[in-house]
């Protein structure tokens, strides 16, 4: 793992996620949080700041003065709209990965968002962990695909997954062929991004094994929801070990699972309309 972390730390073509991403989401979920603090957190990310300012001024009325600072933009947009913008921004960063798995940017984004929504819903249902933390872990769980696309030639991953001779789960195939898998690469990338250790652990274990930390198993279940609906699914298809053990450990019944799938798909459709990305297939 140390060797993998060292290799990822040497990459200079990876997009960055601000170390303030997690505090920012937590602040946006806190109705008592001050708008000045939210504005300062957003201001640490130049690209996000530009997007927020553009959104605040895009529907400007003739009587309004243009927002010239991030804090002014925050005051104008409100937390609900800001949360959507922040989530979309960081999900699109993660969605840059997946070429080796045959995924385009839209498909990768959809898989990330579906996992985030499902993770938060499962956390709320079970009370086993904080929904906002699980949301973040679900959103970023496949970030290792972004790292592997940079570490390897995407064609090498594609060739592996398309090989008729390859047997076993996709995770096992990756590990055998490259010495690591995308979950491990994701944990290493999360460390590079200075994300909290509990997020690194959840990302690194989103395809197993079970971990008694309250978050990892929820993220495994969220991945099962996304995979079962074909959201964010590429050449790896359904070639993963059953998520049944994780679902049982969290206490998700078959009826719960079906309800989660329906609610997650509905949320994805609403997000697509907001982002003008069309409709999820």
Three-state SS at 264 = helix
pLDDT score of 103: 94
- Express each pLDDT in 265-277 by its tens digit: 998 887 766 555 4
Over residues 134-191, the pLDDT tens digits come to 999 999 999 999 999 999 989 999 999 999 777 888 999 999 999 999 999 999 999 9
Examine the domain organization and report whether 32 and 122 are in the same domain.
no
pLDDT (mean) for 181-208 = 95
Please tell me the least confidently modeled range out of 2-6, 20-24, 233-237, 238-242.
238-242
Q: How far is CA 124 from the centre of its chain?
A: 18
Choosing from 94, 112, 140, the residue where a domain stops is: 94
Report yes or no on 1 lying in a domain: no
130 lies in the same domain as 69: no
Same domain (yes/no): 90, 191: no
Q: Which domain CATH number covers 271?
A: 1.10.3210.10
Is 9 domain-assigned?
no
Q: pLDDT tens across 46-81, in order?
A: 999 999 998 888 866 545 788 899 999 999 899 988
**69, 94, 119 - which closes a domain:** 94
φ, ψ of residue 6 to 5 degrees: the values are -65, -40
Tell me, yes or no, whether 176 and 274 share the same domain.
yes
Q: Are residues 66 and 145 in the same domain?
A: no
For residue 23, what are the contacts with CB-CB under 8 A and spacing of at least 6?
41
Q: Cα(154)–Cα(42) distance, rounded to whole angstroms? A: 33
Q: Are residues 160 and 59 in the same domain?
A: no
**Among residues 94, 128, 150, which one ends one of the domains?**
94
Tell me whether residue 8 is in a domain: no
User: Residue 242 pLDDT more than 80?
Assistant: no
Indicate if 83 and 191 belong to the same structural domain.
no
Residues 168 and 249 both lie in one domain: yes
pLDDT band at 118, cuts 50/70/90?
A: very high
35, 137, 178, 252 from 249: Cα distances, Å: 39, 18, 31, 8
pLDDT for residue 279: 44
- Does residue 204 fall inside a structural domain? yes
pLDDT(249) > 70: yes
Tokens of 73: 């933009």
CB 206 within 8 A of CB 20: no
Tell me: the pLDDT tens digits for 25-51?
889 988 888 999 999 999 999 999 999
Regarding whether 200 and 76 lie in a shared domain, the answer is no
- Is there a domain that residue 112 lies in? yes
Give a yes or no: residue 155 inside a domain: yes
- Please check whether residues 128 and 267 belong to one and the same domain: yes
pLDDT of residue 273: 61
Q: Are residues 128 and 202 in the same domain?
A: yes
Average pLDDT over residues 98-113: 92
Among 239, 242, 244, 267, which residue's Cα sits nearest to residue 254? Answer: 244
In this prediction, residue 2 carries a pLDDT of 76
Please give the tally of structural domains in the chain: 2
Whether a cis peptide bond, with omega within 30° of 0, leads into 209 is yes
Same domain assignment for residues 122 and 234: yes
What is the pLDDT, as a whole number, of residue 67? 87
pLDDT class of 88 with cuts at 50, 70, 90: confident
Q: Is residue 12 part of a domain?
A: no
Is residue 11 domain-resident?
no
Residue numbers of the domain that contains 210 = 97-281
pLDDT at 61 (0 to 100): 53
């Amino acid at each position: 793992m140390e060797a993998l972390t060292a290799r990822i730390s040497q990459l200079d073509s990876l997009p960055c996620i601000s170390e303030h991403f997690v505090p920012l989401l937590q602040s946006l979920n806190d109705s008592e949080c001050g708008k000045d603090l939210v504005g300062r957190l957003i201001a640490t990310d130049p690209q996000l700041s530009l997007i927020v300012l553009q959104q605040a001024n895009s529907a400007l009325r003739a009587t309004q003065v243009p927002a010239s600072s991030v804090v002014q933009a925050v005051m104008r947009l409100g937390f609900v709209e800001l949360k959507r913008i922040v989530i979309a921004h960081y999900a699109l960063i993660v969605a840059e990965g997946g070429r080796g798995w045959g995924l385009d940017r839209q498909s990768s984004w959809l898989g990330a968002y579906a996992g985030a929504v499902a993770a938060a819903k499962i956390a709320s249902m079970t009370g086993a962990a904080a929904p906002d933390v699980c949301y973040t872990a679900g959103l970023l769980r496949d970030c290792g695909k972004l790292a592997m696309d940079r570490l390897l030639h995407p064609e090498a991953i594609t060739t592996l997954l398309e090989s008729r001779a390859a047997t076993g789960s996709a995770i096992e195939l990756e590990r055998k062929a490259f010495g690591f898998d995308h979950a491990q690469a994701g944990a290493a990338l999360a460390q590079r991004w200075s994300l909290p250790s509990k997020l690194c652990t959840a990302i690194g274990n989103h395809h197993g094994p079970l971990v008694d930390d309250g978050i990892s198993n929820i993220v495994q279940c969220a991945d099962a929801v996304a995979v079962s609906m074909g959201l964010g699914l590429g050449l790896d298809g359904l070639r993963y070990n059953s998520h049944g053990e994780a679902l049982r450990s969290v206490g998700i019944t078959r009826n719960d699972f079906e309800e989660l799938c329906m609610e997650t798909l509905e949320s994805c459709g609403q997000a697509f309309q907001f982002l003008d990305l069309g409709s999820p297939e």
